[in-house]
Amino acid sequence: MEIEELIIELFNIGCVKFGEFTLKSGLKSPVYFDLRILVSYPKLLKLASVIFAKKISDESIDFDIVCGVPYGAISLATGLCLEINKSMIFKRKDAKSHGTKNLIEGIYKPNDRCLIIDDVITSGISILETIEGLRDHGVQVKDALVLLDREQGGPENVIANNVKIHSVLKTSDVLNILLKRNKINQEMYNKTQEFLNVNRNVSVPTKPVKEKEISFEERAEITNNKMAKKLFQIMSLKQSNLCFSADVESFDLLLKLADEIGPNICILKTHIDILNDFNMDKVQELVNLSIKHNFLIFEDRKFADIGNTVKSQYSGGVYKISQWSNFVNAHSIAGSGCVQGLKEAALQYDEPKGCLLIAQLSCKNNLIDKTYTEKTVKLAEEHSDFIFGFICQNKLTDNPGFIHITPGIQFNENNGMSDNLGQQYTTPEMAILQNKCDVIVVGRGILKSENPAETALKYKNTAYEAYLKRLNL
């Protein structure tokens, strides 16, 4: 009954017009729906919002935020958000040339699941443009809800891009009710039905809106995690996605390598307990080099104990890791208490600190399985203010805020596809292009080469070129 009432009211206020109209696709149509008028009818807008809310609940549509397609659906999306208490964003038709230059207005998080709201769908082109803009910003889109489907192929065009269209009304519903209630005559009904019958498939002149790769620079913008932001900024500025694993026993050698290789890396990874001559003065020299060459220090400590213990291991003892490292890593085996313990210790610092979770290992016969990896990703999502990525062998989540860091990398020509203690290697290209990781970790591939600085530069260039290739640049 609500639907019938809605159709009659839409007709009464002039939202449904009969005559000859040229559509966005160029087609001449005997019927035109102008739902923008709704903005001036609060009662009707309210009714549409209630009907939308019911549809969402009936069809169990799951989402975090709502995006209205400008201009026609802005008022509809606003009405719906007030009804269901969800927040809203919208994609501008053009980016602003001043101020924030935002293309998306409103607050959203990377990986938010967004429900698109539109007034009318014909070919689906406006919705496809909106999907493209949202996906470019890391927002997920799986559903769109429209008030009216003109039945001209829109839903079919959109579903091809992995988004389902839910519609409240179809043109034929409107025609049937208007005929039944004597608002149109049989001739007008037949003419419009005939038009629909021959124009059921309006093709869209667009390329498929694939879930696009986004650059490190864009990911720096999107993420709310300060550590991830800093790392993405360094990667983008230095054009480097190389992490050097400085697994040496002498602190002087570590400092020498950090100075030589520092300009070409985004991260220097330490195993501080390998050093024979650890002392805090030399740690300060390492920190100075990290500032001089703009890289981050990652202590590969692999914490794996109860929260209270890891908190002390991180901030106390001989190494006082939290004082000088930008970030650390932890096994997820001990669960959220371990992450929470590290997070609490990190809170005492003004500068950002972060942690990676070990979701996969590079060594042969390790005990990590698919479920463990999936649970690790979930744990990271629950602590995304502190956890900003993974030690892994392939991309694990589409959330662009998480960084995928991959050890076990060597060039093929080094003939080092494994060592005799179970380490397994893949190439930089495989890791970045095929496995879609972001950062490669190279230790012996650099350390055992004749000229570590030169070799590091080769790894840096190969890995960054692979990343640019992934972006299609």
Ligand X SMILES: O=c1ccn([C@@H]2O[C@H](COP(=O)(O)O)[C@@H](O)[C@H]2O)c(=O)[nH]1
Catalytic member of 302, 375, 395, 436: 302
Closest CA to 327 of 431, 207, 422, 243: 243
> For ligand X, which stretch binds (CB under 6 A), given 97-105, 112-120, 377-385, 440-448?
440-448
155 binds ligand X (CB under 6 A): no
439 binds ligand X (CB under 6 A): no
Asked if residue 247 belongs to a known ligand binding site, the reply is yes
List the beta bridge partners of residue 148.
120, 169
441 binds ligand X (CB under 6 A): yes
Between 47 and 442, whose beta carbon lies closer to ligand X?
442
Q: Can you read off the two tokens belonging to residue 75?
A: 């008022």
> For ligand X, which stretch binds (CB under 6 A), given 2-10, 190-198, 212-220, 436-444?
436-444
Q: Within a 10 A sphere around the Cβ of 420, how many other Cβ atoms?
A: 5
445 binds ligand X (CB under 6 A): yes
What part of residues 381-400 is at the interface with ligand X (CB under 6 A)?
391
- Pairing state between β 28-33 and 16-22: antiparallel
Q: Binding residue for ligand X (CB under 6 A) from 362, 384, 399, 427?
A: 362
Asked if residue 239 belongs to a known ligand binding site, the reply is no
Q: Tokens 């001989």: give the residue.
A: 318
Between 110 and 407, whose beta carbon lies closer to ligand X?
407
Report the nearest approach of ligand X to the CB of residue 446 (Å). Answer: 8
Closest CA to 169 of 339, 7, 341: 7
User: How far, in Å, CA of 22 to CA of 24, rounded?
Assistant: 7
Report the nearest approach of ligand X to the CB of residue 362 (Å). Answer: 4
408 binds ligand X (CB under 6 A): yes
Report the nearest approach of ligand X to the CB of residue 456 (Å). Answer: 12
Q: Quick check: is 64 catalytic?
A: no
Q: Quick check: is 302 catalytic?
A: yes
Query: Which helix (H) or strand (E) covers residue 391, if one does?
Result: strand 387-391
Q: Binding residue for ligand X (CB under 6 A) from 151, 300, 429, 438?
A: 300
Residue nearest to ligand X (CB): 443
Between 247 and 259, whose beta carbon lies closer to ligand X?
247
Alpha-carbon dihedral 258, 263, 264, 265, rounded to 10 degrees: 60
x/- map, 63-102, ligand X, by CB under 6 A? ----------------------------------------
Asked if residue 238 belongs to a known ligand binding site, the reply is no
User: How far, in Å, CA of 267 to CA of 244, rounded?
Assistant: 6
Closest CA to 400 of 296, 471, 298, 303: 471
- What is the end-to-end Cα distance of the chain in Å, rounded? 54
Number of residues that bind ligand X (CB under 6 A): 15
Contacting residues for 30 by C-beta, under 8 A, at least 6 apart: 18, 19, 20, 21, 188, 191, 192, 195
> For ligand X, which stretch binds (CB under 6 A), given 148-156, 210-218, 288-296, 435-443?
435-443
Asked if residue 444 belongs to a known ligand binding site, the reply is yes
User: How far, in Å, CA of 400 to CA of 134, rounded?
Assistant: 13
User: How far, in Å, CA of 347 to CA of 420, rounded?
Assistant: 41
Residue 264's SS3 state is helix
Contacting residues for 454 by C-beta, under 8 A, at least 6 apart: none
Catalytic member of 112, 149, 300, 438: 300
Q: Can you read off the two tokens belonging to residue 210?
A: 């694939």
Q: Quick check: is 305 catalytic?
A: yes
Between 41 and 372, whose beta carbon lies closer to ligand X?
372
What part of residues 222-241 is at the interface with ligand X (CB under 6 A)?
none
Asked if residue 186 belongs to a known ligand binding site, the reply is no
User: How far, in Å, CA of 234 to CA of 418, rounded?
Assistant: 31
**Which residues are tagged catalytic?**
300, 302, 305
Binding-site residues for substrate sit at 247, 269, 362, 423, 443-444
Binding stretches for ligand X (CB under 6 A): 245, 247, 271, 300, 361-362, 391, 407-408, 423, 441-445
